[in-house]
Amino acid sequence: MKIALIAHDRKKDLMIQLCTAYQAILEKHQLFATGTTGLRIKEATGLDVHRFKSGPLGGDQQIGALVSENEIDIVIFLRDPLAAMPHEPDVTALIRLSDVYEIPLATNIGTAEVLLRGLDAGHVDWREFYHVDGDHSLLLD
């Protein structure tokens, strides 16, 4: 599975804790992240992470583009709901795209843990259907 990892500044330490705790699960999958988040994950865990630009510089949009092409299976986006973000429209667009394309999305640590445990237990295997079938119109019916 292809997993996108994004964290606002005040949530980056929490993302590192999550990736450290679930490293054994995450290392079995392809990981993508926005710039600083990806760098911090690599430095803390040694996980192989493809890094995009930082969120405010277009990283959220780059991940959103992959979501719209059905190239991401899970998004973990630890958002800071108490901080104003200059790129909030990009954040909103990414969340919207995740909903449009039925991509599981966690925006807090509790949901992220449930999603990763479900992934490990095989409860996200239904995403493989979309890779084999290739008919994205099924998502929009």
Distance (Å, rounded) from C-alpha 96 to C-alpha 91?
9
* Average pLDDT value for residue range 109-113: 97
pLDDT band at 136 (very low <50, low <70, confident <90, very high): low
CA-to-CA distance for 76 and 66, rounded, in angstroms? 14
What is the per-residue pLDDT for 85?
75
Distance of alpha carbon 23 from alpha carbon 111, whole angstroms: 17
pLDDT in tens, 51-92: 999 888 889 999 999 999 989 999 999 998 888 777 788 888
Catalytic residue numbers read 60
CATH hierarchy code of domain 2-134: 3.40.50.1380
Per-residue pLDDT, 34: 95
Q: What is the mean pLDDT of the chain?
A: 90
**Angstrom distances, CA of residue 70 to CA of 75, 86, 98, 101, 122:** 12, 27, 10, 7, 19
Q: What are phi and psi of 105, to 5 degrees?
A: -135, 125
Q: What is the rounded CA–CA span in Å between residue 79 and residue 106?
A: 9
Report domain extents, the chain: 2-134
Residue 139: pLDDT band with limits 50, 70, 90: very low
Phi, psi for 87 (deg, rounded to 5): -105, 30
pTM for this entry: 0.89
> Which whole number is the average pLDDT over 3-19?
97
pLDDT, residue 88, reads 80
Encoded tokens for 54: 């930082």
